[in-house]
Amino acid sequence: MNKISLNDINKAHFIGIGGISMSGLAQTLRSKGIAVSGSDISESSLTCHLESEGISVSIGHDAKNVPIDCQLVIYTAALSDDNPELLQAHEYGVKVIDRAELLGMIMDDYKRAVGVSGTHGKTTTTSLISELLLEANYDPTLNVGGILGSINSNFRIGKSQYFVAEACEYFDSFSRFYPHIGVILNIDNDHTDYFKSEEQLRNSFKKFALNIPADGFLVINTAVHDLKNFTSTLKCGVITYGKGGDYSALNIEHSDDGKSGFDVYHKGEFVARILLNLPGIHNVENCLAAFAVGYTLGVSVSAMQKSFANFSGAKRRFEEKGFFNGAQIIDDYAHHPTEINATLSAAKGCKHEKINTAFQPHTFSRTKSFFDGFVDALSKSDVVVLLDIYSARETDDGGIHSKDLAKKIAEFGTECHYFDSFDGAEEFLRANCKKGDMVITMGAGDIFKLGEDLLSR
């Protein structure tokens, strides 16, 4: 595998620097004394933070943004081939790599790297592993796909051989990662604009698992389909968690204040009682995966117990934002039917009157591919407020609209309202939310602003 020698780089430029992973990588390079610049399509809290840290950020993509004397240009995988900055970098003859290649090359420099993959739960599980290593004073380097509350950042530079990062499957990005411990939380169909079949998706995860060296380990959920066949050709050790796995969670309890408790058993032997400051069975499973990683790395049980009990969560993962008129405002990143089901199931386990879900679908391809799943999942809310589809990297071909979802959800008997603006949705919620209700702003776009507006006006 080719390595990037950061010692030979004085200046680097990031196209799409405002992305959660890209911003962390930009700060990582800057911490190593490399001059960093970047650009993004729009201003955000992340781009503002980067500028406050002394990183030059241009808003909008333009060829003139690329420094003529930079030695490295990093771009996001979703960038179009005709991006002016990408074309300019090639014209300059600058070395050009994508985000995943840079992250993989950096990861390869750490003897105890942990890569967390899965269609759902990556950010929460990466955060849980990060916290237990911090609690145990392992001094890890971190690259998280969300803002970790305890450090108020998505990255951290440590001085040890421990490195923790999310490993995303989109565009086979994680095929460039070579972790000592790989984690597979689940393999669920998503990113249908790239993965055209379940077989292609499973093969992508298999490539990631095959990158783990013989002295490393794969921590994998027993719920993964045809698990025995999936792991049979791996050269690394295999550690399972979940029902019937090496690590299992028993005597699970959920309190109405959003906490969970469970007993961890390792190969049939009781290990510890865990108290987790997160709701939902899906978070018990995420925590169990993190426990398996920590136990394998030799972290003390007491350190893990303390870190889980104090875990404040990652931003946008069932994040409590405050109260409006006595209604609790929660923000969550869920944008896939499986994630919506998990979030609403967790919400139902907390004390509430009505659950009002303000959902912003993410990408036309995902909305079309999982239409029935979205209808079924959202129908579990008491009231649904739908916003327009957040297009992200896609172009609207007119084949799907939020109105289609609204109509179908209403046919299921669930109260559902469509609004073409945040202002309309906010006005509705202000008029209809009562004390004891829960309002969940949900989606991977900018839906979080709706909850913030409710709280600020």
123 is catalytic: yes
Q: What is the 3-state secondary structure (H, E, C) of the chain?
A: CCCCCHHHCCEEEEECCCCHHHHHHHHHHHHCCCEEEEEECCCCHHHHHHHHCCCEEEECCCHHHCCCCCCEEEECCCCCCCCHHHHHHHHHCCEEEEHHHHHHHHHCCCCEEEEEECCCCHHHHHHHHHHHHHHCCCCCEEEEEEEECCCCEEEECCCCCEEEEECCCHHHHHHHCCCCEEEECCCCCCCCCCCCCHHHHHHHHHHHHHCCCCCCEEEEECCCCCHHHHHCCCCCEEEEECCCCCEEEEEEEECCCCCEEEEEEECCEEEEEEEECCCCHHHHHHHHHHHHHHHHCCCCHHHHHHHHHHCCCECCCCEEEEEECCEEEEEECCCCHHHHHHHHHHHHCCCCCCEEEEECCECHHHHHHCHHHHHHHHCCCCEEEECCCECCCCCCCCCCCHHHHHHHHHHCCCEEEECCCHHHHHHHHHHHCCCCCEEEEECCCCCHHHHHHHHHC
Q: Virtual CA dihedral for 331, 136, 274, 164, nearest 10 degrees? A: 50
Q: Phi and psi at residue 292, in whole multiples of 5°?
A: -60, -40
> Of the residues 122, 315, 380, 408, which is catalytic?
122
343 is catalytic: no
Using DSSP bridges, classify how beta strands 319-324 and 327-332 pair: parallel, antiparallel or unpaired. Answer: antiparallel
How far is it, in rounded angstroms, from Cα 210 to Cα 205? Answer: 9
> Of the residues 131, 135, 166, 169, which is catalytic?
166
> Of the residues 123, 338, 343, 367, which is catalytic?
123
Using DSSP bridges, classify how beta strands 269-276 and 260-266 pair: parallel, antiparallel or unpaired. Answer: antiparallel
441 is catalytic: no
Query: Token digits for 228?
Result: 């025995």
The total of other beta-carbon atoms located within 10 Å of residue 391's CB is: 13
- End-to-end, the C-alpha distance of the chain in Å comes to 53
Query: Token digits for 165?
Result: 């990062």
How far is it, in rounded angstroms, from Cα 131 to Cα 274? Answer: 15
Mind telling me the catalytic residues?
Answer: 122-123, 166
